Amino acid sequence: MISDPLQVDDFNKKLKSWYLKNHRPLLWRQTTDPYKIWLSEIILQQTRVAQGTPYYEKFLENYPTVFDLANADERDVLRLWQGLGYYSRARNMHYTARQIVSEFEGRFPETALTLSKLKGLGNYTAAAIASFAFGEAVAAIDGNVYRVMSRIFGIKADMLSNEGKKEFAQVAKTLISHEDPATYNQAMIEFGALQCVPVSPNCSICPFNDICYAYAFNVQNELPVKAKKLKVKNRFLNYFIIQQGDKLAMQERNTKDIWKGLYDFLLIESAAHVDSPEELADNAMLLVLMKKGTIRQVPKLYIHLLTHQKLHVQFWWLTIPESEPVDLPSNIYFFSKNEVETLPKPILIDTVLKEEKYL
């Protein structure tokens, strides 16, 4: 392991030198504004820089300050987040913006400990903001940093278990630079993102290949250790897109399930694939609706992959004449085309509406 202050000092010098030569000039690195740093960190959680960057720019244009975000409707925030996934990030961010305005007069807490009490801020994000915006000497340990530490220092603890996280945190504490913690954290993250990459790292040009455990024993592919293996569940969703004039019947998803806060259509889930709506149980209301208009099956069966679910999704498009009065199930309402466009929707719903030439 590494505990000798001289070795730590040498490690930090090499790391910083690598960073100064190789880092990307990312937008959120050009500022110490905690709001901007916070925004970037939330967006980047489990998200690639390339995917997140356009959202960072959009959010800053629409909500330049924490006050603007606090004043926004949650629905609009979610709409701007549409397509990024993990939507609780957007809901929590909006909630936290309001809290920062109402409780702290728009100023962010300045330590990792106090930041971590805010919704959506865990250990990593709190430490990142505390060091980048306020210069606190706390280690921000994200997936990149776990990888770098486990490989260089040969740490085989499971990075996803609480036990393992403690071990990594210990090592990180001995490593962090107290002269320039912000650059140290940025450098560790960037080093993992650019040099010590998950697959096929080019160790021949690595400044640490003289001390790296993984390189010495050729176990780059075995580190870091992640014990978790996830099982994917199949789900069969049958959506009914009820249209009247240019209006669509949509509902806000409010259950403890996927896509909370986003809008979709009348949904009947089944245990297996069904070929026709008649096969769906509990469809008396459906039959009434179908009698009023015409129904067509959207030809494509959509397969939509989530982290823990494989969605098999069939859509039926139900067109009802405007002369027919329609009794919608509770919580489902008609929205004009304009409104449908501005509602936050799962990317799957948005895709179908576009492929079916509605949007």
Catalytic residues: 41
Q: Are 206 and 215 in contact (CB under 8 A)?
A: yes
Site for DNA in 35-54 (CB under 7 A): 40-41, 44-51
Least distance (Å) between residue 41 CB and DNA: 5
Least distance (Å) between residue 292 CB and DNA: 31
Torsion of the alpha carbons at 4, 10, 13 and 18, rounded to the nearest 10: -120
Site for DNA in 256-285 (CB under 7 A): 257-260
Least distance (Å) between residue 60 CB and DNA: 15
Going by C-alpha positions, the residue among 230, 188, 233 that lies closest to residue 208 is: 188
Q: By C-beta, is 289 or 353 nearer to DNA?
A: 353
For strands 309-319 and 233-244, give the pairing: parallel
Q: Are 188 and 121 in contact (CB under 8 A)?
A: no
Bridge partners (DSSP) of residue 276 are: none
Question: Would you call 318 helix, strand, or coil by DSSP?
Answer: strand
Candidate residues 8, 26, 169, 274; the one interacting with DNA per rule CB under 7 A: 26
Kindly state whether residue 201 participates in binding DNA, applying the rule CB under 7 A.
no
Site for DNA in 113-142 (CB under 7 A): 119-126, 128, 142
Would you give the distance in Å from CA 173 to the centre of its chain?
27
Going by C-alpha positions, the residue among 315, 156, 128 that lies closest to residue 225 is: 156
Least distance (Å) between residue 185 CB and DNA: 9
Paired tokens of 38: 């916070």
Integer Cα distance of 57 and 4 in angstroms: 43
Least distance (Å) between residue 6 CB and DNA: 29
Least distance (Å) between residue 289 CB and DNA: 27
Angle at 8 between CA 7 and CA 11, to 5 degrees: 85
Q: By C-beta, is 118 or 295 nearer to DNA?
A: 118
Angle at 202 between CA 211 and CA 166, to 5 degrees: 50
Kindly state whether residue 321 participates in binding DNA, applying the rule CB under 7 A.
no
Amino acid 75 reads R
Query: Pattern of binders to DNA over 77-116, x per CB under 7 A?
Result: ------xxxxxx---x------------------------
Q: Which stretch in 9-17, 98-106, 187-195, 326-334 sits in contact with DNA by CB under 7 A?
A: 187-195
Q: By C-beta, is 195 or 238 nearer to DNA?
A: 195
Kindly state whether residue 329 participates in binding DNA, applying the rule CB under 7 A.
no
Integer Cα distance of 106 and 195 in angstroms: 38
Q: By C-beta, is 150 or 244 nearer to DNA?
A: 150
Amino acid 250 reads M
* Count of residues that interact with DNA, criterion CB under 7 A: 61
Kindly state whether residue 22 participates in binding DNA, applying the rule CB under 7 A.
no
Q: Could you tell me the CA-to-CA distances from 246 to 323, 341, 354, 358 in Å, in that order? A: 13, 12, 14, 9
Integer Cα distance of 115 and 110 in angstroms: 7
Candidate residues 25, 30, 61, 199; the one interacting with DNA per rule CB under 7 A: 199
Kindly state whether residue 348 participates in binding DNA, applying the rule CB under 7 A.
yes
Least distance (Å) between residue 266 CB and DNA: 19
Angle at 69 between CA 67 and CA 73, to 5 degrees: 125
Candidate residues 15, 190, 212, 286; the one interacting with DNA per rule CB under 7 A: 190
Question: Would you call 243 helix, strand, or coil by DSSP?
Answer: strand
Binding site for DNA (CB under 7 A): 26, 28-29, 40-41, 44-51, 83-88, 92, 119-126, 128, 142-144, 147, 161-162, 189-190, 192-193, 197-199, 226, 228-231, 233, 257-260, 304-309, 346-348
